[in-house]
Chain A
């Protein structure tokens, strides 16, 4: 891996993909919050025909020429999608699916046709399908930066408008915020980011880099600021990983799939282990709560028994407690824990009764619940 560091240009390739990943995560956050994850997917697929047409018209493989073509067809697709769902009774998910397949199908047709041409000029266009970071040139990286930095500045400047439009667009409009303009701006930024990432990630998997970092970041925080930055960081990490791995030993593994695998791993870990929202965390909390509840119920049973039978000194056996517990097998454990905590004492061999401390603990607990437990 360290050998590959010496390959000329890898430093800038890594910087470029990191920047791209950061940008994708940041803007993907807004797409995800606006429930527009699939919009990114449709736009990126729809970039393919524009890219190839641009190549055919200008007979050039300059990045900015291809990007321009991609941006035009991507924007066109976005407008078609919005138009269909606005002016017809076709629902948005259907219009997304139709537009994506038509544009992408047309793009693939063009690509196949172009590749059959006898001259060698078209060589390498196929890398836009799955991305190839290794082919990034220094000036491509500069172009990436030239797109990324203004986009990030816009996000910073229009932060409050983006936040409020994503949360409650009707309310935003009632405040006099130009919601339509903000939405168009967000969509344009999305197109820009997608176009910037085409060469590195490819049209097919681009949307993963938009959606996945935001999904992962949401697991770890309840603050929009932190979610946005964290999504950027996750995106940047996956970008770097993709650039490295697809460069190792010059195997030319496409970058897109590597990035997607990496970010998916982050998503998986986040869904499982993030505090407060992760599945494992929630299970653990449930388990811990049920232990505490069991402890409380055993203590309360002991107290009730002691009260019913002539005062506190009177102890009761494990068997008795098991008889009235909803989970008898947990009773010995809970009793030992209660002894350990000093909430219960053993008055005679195998006979237990709550201590004063135990009584206080229980009355405090029940007062928190609002009504005393019977």
Chain B
């Protein structure tokens, strides 16, 4: 893994003085963050802590009041091609007229030319991604007929199809059963072992130590960020969540 003396390697993500506000209320305040390459990073914090906002700012989906983000040393508009994004499952209308295959294939559109249509190469990539998440058999199913866990797998496959270097996932474990959760974790580890970086918005404090190498504790401000063993402490959690939270150890 990346050590601090490995100067040549760029950070996967580098965020400087990022401040985002909704109307006059700050959602993120002066965030500085450097995420090493090849880390599985959990983003943890209470509701309204700005977890989703952080991810959307990295993607350039929001206009920050101040600050900037760099992706593998590149400005957002170039670096964005290196990122695969898994939005919250509830952010789309699942009654949209499309099949599982159609949605996953959308992941290939970023690298297709303006007027080009997906061809045999894109179809092959789509099938591979579907296979990886165990959804190949449901490829032709209408997306409105999927369960929550299946919807999440479809979104995951749509990101896998991009073969990105960085994955940003907004609550991929929301409302999925434990089997799906385990298989998503397996996939994340596989990606990490291939050198990819993943940032995952996560809610279950009990599993943070099992799932992630790194953790970012957020509550509008950055409370702490670093390797789980150093940063994920009772004291830091109290700072992020207030006094009522404990690791239950």
Contact = CB atoms under 8 A, between A and B. Distances in A.
Contacts of A221: 97
For the residues of A in contact with B, the DSSP-based class is helix
A222 B100 CA distance: 11
Interface string B24-37: 00000000000000
Nearest to A173: B61
Interface stretch (A39-47, A174-182, A293-301): A174-182
For the residues of B in contact with A, the DSSP-based class is mixed
Interface in B81-122: 81, 83-85, 87, 91-93, 96-99, 102-103, 106-107, 109-110, 112, 115, 117-118
B157 to A, nearest CB: 13
Contacts of A33: 96-97
Interface in A208-234: 218, 221-224, 227
A361 interface: no
A176 B158 contact: no
A222 B56 contact: no
B99 A174 contact: no
A168 B87 contact: yes
A89 to B, nearest CB: 8
A264 B80 CA distance: 45
B200 interface: no
Contact of B106 (A164, A173, A222): A164
Interface in A137-162: 157-161
Contacts of B117: 159-160
A174 B97 contact: no
Contact of A176 (B98, B103, B106, B110): B110
A101 interface: no
A171 B112 contact: no
B174 interface: no
B236 interface: no
Contacts of A164: 106, 109
B85 A174 contact: yes
A168 B106 contact: yes
A173 B81 contact: no
A188 interface: no
Contacts of A161: 109
A177 B107 CA distance: 11
Nearest to A34: B93
A325 interface: no
Contact of A175 (B56, B98, B110): B110
Contact of B92 (A168, A176, A222): A168
B67 interface: no
Nearest to A178: B114
A166 interface: yes
B60 interface: yes
B61 A174 contact: yes
A162 B1 CA distance: 41
> 9 closest pairs, A vs B, by CB?
A175-B110, A174-B85, A222-B142, A224-B97, A168-B92, A174-B59, A167-B96, A164-B106, A227-B97
14 contacts: A159-B117, A163-B102, A163-B106, A168-B106, A170-B91, A172-B109, A174-B85, A174-B168, A176-B81, A177-B109, A218-B97, A224-B97, A224-B98, A224-B102
Interface of B: 56, 59-61, 77, 80-81, 83-85, 87, 91-93, 96-99, 102-103, 106-107, 109-110, 112, 115, 117-118, 142, 144, 158, 162, 168
